[in-house]
Amino acid sequence: MDLTYTAEEEAFRATVRQWIRGNAPKATAPRDAETARAWQRRLYQAGYLGAGWPQEYGGIDLAPMQQAILNEELARANAPGVINSMAIWWVGPAIIKYGIEEQKRRFLPKILTAEEIWATGYSEPGAGSDMAAAKTRAIRDGDDYVVTGQKIWTTIAHLSDWYFVLVRTSTEGKKWAGLSMLLIDFKSPGIEVRPIRQITGDCEFNEVFLNDVRVPVSNRLGAEGQGWEIVTSALINERSGIAGSIRADQVLERLVSLARCRRLTADPIWRQRLSDLAIKAHITRSSGLRAMSRRAARSRAISS
């Protein structure tokens, strides 16, 4: 396992770092949806968005280590996240893999440019993270499905244009066998979005109620009963690297500073708590580096 960066990788890091300094929104900039869309478009136009997507669908040619370095530098600079992140990591790759050509042409270009924002509908009340227990029904009626049910903890549903939704089209067989994936326009009659207000006052999550929502059969992704395969395949597409560990280090640094201000660092119990967090942050970073190293080694082996 090699945990060092090559000269070319460090040069790429320097280029990315300079670009972020000149282009990332200022800390005082508004954090509204339009500003977020503009930031995503700026990343895309610079060639820093869509790594892992085929170039014919707007993807960019970044090596795995370059992608990891880009994510690392964005996290280090506290740059805003990408508003269409779920579509870029999950929805887009799923459409690329399972969609028909018409769906690819219709949806993929507008994901990368943030022209259309996507939310994902997996969790339901009473089911939590058990996606196979989904009860939202989609009943075939001619050229449409009629969808009825409720989703919960849907991130940015109140800002989204389209919904990537796991629905039940059959109750026969094992519980994951009757699931299908639909692409639903949020403007469809019968959809109600209720924001869930958090303790911070923000409303990142939402409840989504679907009451006899008619969805064209042409908006089904893949075959009936293929929903479980599609959603589990999509969720594999997470970002790699140590961006998460950098954010953990930043939070830990703020916690230590706060503890010093409150004169808690002399307390052995608090010192132990902070030490435990520091150890976990170090483990997270080491695990990320190991994953990056293995992925880079596989990539080099394939290319050679």
pLDDT digits (tens, 9 = 90+) for 59-88: 887 887 888 888 889 988 888 888 999 999
Distance CA 180, CA 231 (A): 9
- 121 has a pLDDT exceeding 60: yes
Task: Please tell me the predicted confidence (pLDDT) of residue 101.
Answer: 95
Tell me, what's the pLDDT at 197? 87
Beta carbons within 10 angstroms of residue 227's beta carbon: 28
* CATH tag for 117-235 (out of 2.40.110.10, 3.50.50.60, 3.40.50.2300, 3.40.50.970): 2.40.110.10
pLDDT at 248: 76
247-261 residue pLDDT tens: 777 788 888 889 899
For residue 200, the model assigns a pLDDT of 78
115 is a catalytic site residue = no
Tell me: pLDDT of 268 over 70.
yes
Residue whose token pair is 């080491």: 286
Q: 56, 101, 172, 238: which is the annotated catalytic residue?
A: 238
Is residue 248 exposed (0-12), middle (13-18) or buried (19+ Cβ within 10 Å)? buried
For residue 21, what pLDDT band results from cuts at 50, 70 and 90? very high
pLDDT bracket for residue 100 (50, 70, 90): very high
Under DSSP, is residue 119 helix (H, G, I), strand (E, B) or coil? strand
pTM given for the model: 0.81
Residue pLDDT, tens place only, 29-52 = 777 889 999 999 999 999 998 887
